[in-house]
Amino acid sequence: MKQPSSHIKTLQIDGQDVGANQDETILEVARENGIYIPTLCEIEGLSPHGGCRLCLVEVKGVNKLLPACVTHVQEGMEVFTNSPRLQEYRRTILELIFSEGNHICAVCVVNGRCDLQALATKLGMTHVSVPYLYPRRSVDASHDRFALDRNRCILCTRCVRVCDEIEGAHTWDVSGRGVQAHVVTDLNTPWGDSDTCTSCGKCVNVCPTGALFEKGKAVAEMSKKRGFLPYLTQMREKRSK
Amino acid sequence: MMIEELHKIAAVERDEDNRFQHHIHVCMETACIASRSDHVKQALTEAAAGKPCRVKGVGCMGLCSAGPLVKVEPEGVLYQGVTPEDATEIVAKLGDSPVSRLECDTETPFFKRQTKIVLENSGLIDPERIENYIAADGYLALHTALNTMTPAEVIAQIAKSGLRGRGGAGFSTGLKWTTVAKSQGERKFVICNADEGDPGAFMDRSVLEGDPHAVLEGMAIAAYAVGASQGYVYVRAEYPLAVERLKLAIRQAKKLGLLGENICGTTFSFNVDIRLGAGAFVCGEETALIASIEGKRGQPRPRPPFPAEYGLWGYPTLINNVETYANVAPIIRKGADWFSAIGTEKSKGTKVFALTGQVVNTGLIEVPMGITLREIVFDIGGGIPEGRKFKAVQTGGPGGGCIPDEYLDMPVDYESLLKIGSFMGSGGMIVMDETSNMVEIAQYFMEFSKTESCGKCVPCRVGTAQMYELLDKVVKCEATMDDLLLLERLCDVVKNTSLCGLGQGAPNPVLSTLRYFRHEYLARIQEGNRETAFVSH
């Protein structure tokens, strides 16, 4: 016998009544309804990571902040995406990201086209109030067409995920712990010597900053092409049906 | 393995024991072995050859600072600081008056004020002989559960006992078992978290080294209750002796049909394997631990989904700590009511603590929940050495806090500790006296968190590094009041936005020392101001 069941949930985001499928995350539903939640490690078409903590939202009755990118909707949920407290936290997290690497926009290939820079502007981060750590980080320009500048890497792992989940090569991974963590190719061999890299360039295009870029691009010349990702995922979903 | 066989093994073992008039127990755990208890045991065995006396290696007897410890039964005489040269004298004086220069007083509060459940066999049985464990009623609970109780009844007993997770967070064990039991999955797993890593903590190591079968029996009962057939013990590689004893215990239990297929003649099958940690503290976090077992980089993922629903390789998984499992068999054997009579209203049973730092008696203790910190530090611990003044006690590891003397009379339970800015944690307890500087303590713990952060989420990765630098400035008298404000702001952000318990707890040592010892921070800042003022003149 067919049991009655409900897959549709209704909830409130910032006072707005919205409907959602039970499989959807708060972030997906917010986007459908034109409600902006800042994200950085998240990118449509890749598995969620939950590492940047910018999409944290408040939910009434829950004393912890929840990441919108992985939290599923529930009936009657009351979500707040933009409280003064959240704005403050987000700005501090952005400041921490800027303080951690060596982000010098004026000489960066993606100046003016950078996700991190755009987010800082959008969230009103006017200055960095925590001391810069000025880490010593290495550059890998051994690949024919692309280069990696770890000074600009924010460890969002988009490159790791796109290479693993979409390209299927799993060339990228993270090595080390804490502030010493950094992305590596294969088993920490130079990118140019990698046996697994197919030189598809997907990592370069999903990278939110100028950490991964095409060689031969000067300051502010590099723009990232992202259209392929939702297209690929859509086509795969269609084929698997 | 039928109940008659179990009783027979126990009877044979007891008869064998009764052949000897005296039993000499030598602690064979890491701490005592480090002070050559293995040589002591060897010497005692040689000295006792041909005499009605048996020398046995046992688990921790508690007073680790006085090791190597040797106990003579049935007289109950405890010797401390024994050397191999003392062996002949100890054996010669058996049945006579004890060797007074080595004697350790067992009438002190250190021994009298403890209540032993988890450590009931520790110091009494030989952890390398399953027969010894069986003679101490071992595997009786497993037999009872499998043959006379349904899985639901087992869970009901555990729930009724009020047992809560001993890893530190204090989640209801019965509730956790229920969620795993109710989760749908082709397979289910049971994991024992033995990735103990808090500075100064060695409770789980002692349990595994002193009574490994208690943990295995608890795991098997849990597996029966939730419907799992495979278990893993995730133990850190830095505990080689614990790993060795655990391996031996698994082999012995399999041989007797207490693990493996058709346990105790029932249809229940359960196997246990060991997985070694590779030295990352964060792998004690359950989702990171699971990732590590799966062969992935050990880093946490957001919860929900919780492992109870989506755990090892996506299957429902029960994860409990070593000490939690060690409580299971006694609860089944003696009943939930017996267990819940111990402790406070919300925190039942006992807690094992590794008492270390500036205290006279350092070692392993097991106390009923609700005991006060004062009783632990001053009665059991014997107070501060050399007449110095008590300053604080740190509980909960790098995610815990420092508790000052004004809270010494507070009962030790999950809620009370949380209320005053600390945390039960897995059981590390570090006592500090007036010579300790609290800013340096905070910096020490922050360095630990900074180094052990996996680097996945921004607030923990960068926040801990930034807080460490700020604390360093305070320690060096180079900080300003603005730095202190920034430190407090970062504490708030890291605590509330980090992904897992490591980051969420990392600010606690700073927050608690700022709360109770703010003047020490201010003193260092003012000191710095004075120096700068002098330079600018």
B457 in contact with chain A, both atoms CB, cutoff 8 A? yes
Q: Which residue among A51, A131, A177 places its CB closest to the CB of B457?
A: A51
- Chain A CB contacts of B456 under 8 Å are 49, 51, 155, 181
Distance of CA B486 to the CA centre of its chain: 35
- The domain spans of chain B are 18-108, 137-340, 350-433, 438-536
CA-closest candidate to residue B122, choices B22, B241, B207, B30: B207
Closest to A174 (Cβ–Cβ): which among B297, B453, B496? B297
In angstroms, the first-to-last Cα distance of chain A is 26
Q: Which residues of A touch B484 (CB under 8 A)?
A: none
Give B-chain residues touching A131 at CB under 8 angstroms. Answer: 466, 469
pLDDT at residue A20 is higher than 60: yes
Among the partner residues B304, B465, B498, nearest to A178 by beta-carbon distance: B465
**Does CATH place domain B18-108 in 3.40.30.10?**
yes
Give the tens place of pLDDT for each residue, A54-102. 999 999 999 999 999 999 999 999 999 999 999 999 999 999 999 999 9
Residue of B458, B471, B498 best to disrupt the A interface, most CBs of A under 10 A: B458
Query: A178 — contact with chain B (CB < 8 Å)?
Result: yes
Burial classification of residue A129, based on how many CB atoms lie within 10 Å of its CB (0-12 exposed, 13-18 middle, 19 or more buried)? middle
Residues of chain A found within 8 Å of residue B455, distances taken between Cβ atoms: 155, 174, 176-181
Q: Is B463 on the interface with A (CB under 8 A)?
A: yes
In B, minimum Cα distance to A131 occurs at: B466
Q: How far apart are the first and last CA of chain B?
A: 86
| A99: chain B residues, CB-CB within 8 Å | 462, 466
H helices of B117-239, in order, are 130-135, 140-148, 151-161, 173-182, 203-210, 212-226
Query: Under an 8 A CB cutoff, do B499 and A51 touch?
Result: yes
Residue B466: which of A67, A99, A155 has the nearest Cβ?
A: A99
Which segments of chain B have a pLDDT < 50? 537
- Domain range A104-235, its CATH number among 3.40.50.2300, 3.90.1170.10, 3.30.70.20, 3.40.50.150: 3.30.70.20
Contact list in A for residue B489 (CB cut-off 8 A) is: 92
Under 8 Å between Cβ of B24 and B53: yes
Contact B353, B376 (CB under 8 A): yes
Q: Give the residue carrying structure tokens 């010579």.
A: B435
A188, with CB counted inside 10 A (0-12, 13-18, 19+), is exposed
Secondary structure in 3-state letters for B124-144: CCCCCCHHHHHHCCCCHHHHH
Chain B residue with minimum CA distance to A181: B455
Which one-letter DSSP state was computed for residue B379? I
**Is there a common fold for B18-108 and B438-536?**
no
Contact residues, chain A, for B280 at CB < 8 Å: 177
Listed by start position, the domains of chain A span 8-82, 104-235
Residue A172 in tokens:
């990228």
Measured between alpha carbons, how far is B425 from B198 in angstroms, rounded to an integer? 9
What are B384's two structure tokens? 């501060």
**Best A22, A83, A177, A209 residue to mutate vs chain B (most B CBs within 10 Å):** A177
| Assigned CATH class of B438-536 | mainly alpha
Number of residues written out for chain B: 537
CB B301 within 8 A of CB B291: yes
For chain A, say whether B451 makes contact (Cβ under 8 Å).
yes
H helices present in B227-365, as ranges: 240-255, 286-293, 322-334, 336-340
Cβ distance B354 to B243 under 8 Å? no
Task: Select the residue of A64, A65, A178 nearest B461 (Cβ to Cβ).
Answer: A178
Is residue A137 helix, strand or coil? coil
Q: Given this model, what pLDDT does residue A2 score?
A: 67
The highest-level CATH class for domain B350-433 is alpha beta
Band the pLDDT of A195: cuts 50, 70, 90: very high
* A129 CB within 8 Å of a chain B CB: yes
Of B280, B462, B490, the CB nearest to A179: B462
Q: Are A43 and A166 in contact (CB under 8 A)?
A: no
Evaluate if residue A3 carries a pLDDT over 80. no
Q: B91-126, pLDDT tens digit by residue?
A: 988 888 888 899 999 999 999 999 999 999 999 999
Burial of B255 (0-12, 13-18, 19+ CB in 10 A): exposed
Q: Do B455 and A173 touch (CB under 8 A)?
A: no
Determine the distance in angstroms separating the CA of A219 from the nearest CA of chain B, rounded to an integer: 27
- Please give the residue of chain B at the shortest CA–CA distance from A133: B466
Residues of B in contact with A56 (CB under 8 A): 497
Q: Does B159 touch chain A (CB under 8 A)?
A: no
Sheet holding A16-21, edge to edge: A16-21, A8-13, A78-80, A56-59, A66-67
State which residue of chain A sits closest to B457, comparing Cα positions: A51
CB–CB contact A99 B454 (8 Å): no
Report the pLDDT value the prediction gives residue B422, as an integer from 0 to 100: 87
Residue type, A114: C
A-chain CB neighbours of B463 within 8 Å are 96
Q: Could you tell me if A51 lies within 8 Å of chain B, comparing CB atoms?
A: yes
Fold classification of B137-340 is Rossmann fold (3.40.50)
Closest CA to A181 of B280, B158, B78, B53: B280
CATH code for the structural domain at A8-82: 3.10.20.740
- CA distance to B116, B155, B252, B316, per residue, from B152 (Å): 27, 5, 29, 17
In this complex, the residue of A49, A174, A178 whose CB is nearest that of residue B453 is A178
Predicted local distance difference test score (pLDDT) of residue A1 = 61
Total residues belonging to chain A: 241
